[in-house]
Amino acid sequence: MFTIKTIIDGNTLLTHAAAVRIGREGSDALLDALDVAGEDGDLDTFQHFPETDEELGGSVAIARFGQRYPAHAVIISEIFDESISSQPGTLYQFLYPGDRAFIMNANGQTVDLIK
């Protein structure tokens, strides 16, 4: 289990994930995430839940208005939200210049840093 600590505009958010993928500027992971989200520079988070035979699935996008720069990194992890789907979805957390993220292992040691 990983702990993801993001600091954005002085606000701290802690989330947990079993697996984490990080896409930095110019990486296929970041380009793919932007393509999936259908945006090019103002998303904070994007959640996508796949369609199944029993459920419609869906996506939830949260914009961060006022961004002048494209995202320079994305943190991709699995998300669970029973109110949307019984199947796990994918969470994309976009980072912009000035944002920081610490990825920590189960022992609290930082294994990756994005700034």
Q: Report how far residue 24's alpha carbon sits from residue 37's, in angstroms, rounded to the nearest whole number.
A: 16
For residue 41, is pLDDT > 60? no
3-state secondary structure of 96: coil
Beta-bridge partners for 59: 48
Tokens representing residue 114 in the block? 């994005």
Q: What is the pLDDT of residue 81?
A: 72
Residues 85/55, Cβ–Cβ less than 8 Å: yes
Map tokens 């006022």 to a residue.
66
pLDDT tens for each residue of 51-62: 766 666 777 777
Map tokens 């419609």 to a residue.
56
What percentage of the chain exceeds 70 in pLDDT? Answer: 86
